[in-house]
Amino acid sequence: MKPGDRYHKWVEWSEEDQAYLGKCPDLITGIHGDDPLQVYGDLCEVVEDVIRHFESEGRPLPPPRVRPMQDVA
């Protein structure tokens, strides 16, 4: 498993911004765009860039905290 796979990433539509927002709150504030698949791909690339930056500075990665909501049935 790659380090980036530990972090929850998602894309959602924002009425306010009229754009798709890609989020990974454990590492970055987010990105936006018109195509949800492109936004997700870009988000994954940005997450990997952030991880490489942490590693290049010898800084530990923050622990993954955000988890997707699960149905409780």
**pLDDT for res 69:** 66
Strand ranges across the sheet with 28-33: 10-14, 19-24, 28-33
3-state secondary structure (DSSP) of residue 11: strand
Distances in Å between the Cα of 42 and the Cα atoms of 22, 26, 51, 59, 70 are: 8, 16, 14, 23, 25
For domain 3-56, the question of CATH label 2.40.10 is answered with no
Give strand pairing partners of 19: 14
Dump pLDDT digits (tens) for 32-68.
999 999 999 999 999 999 999 999 999 999 999 987 6
Report the pLDDT value the prediction gives residue 51, as an integer from 0 to 100. 96
Per-residue pLDDT tens over the stretch 60-69? 999 999 876 6
Q: What is the pTM of this model?
A: 0.85
pLDDT of residue 66: 82
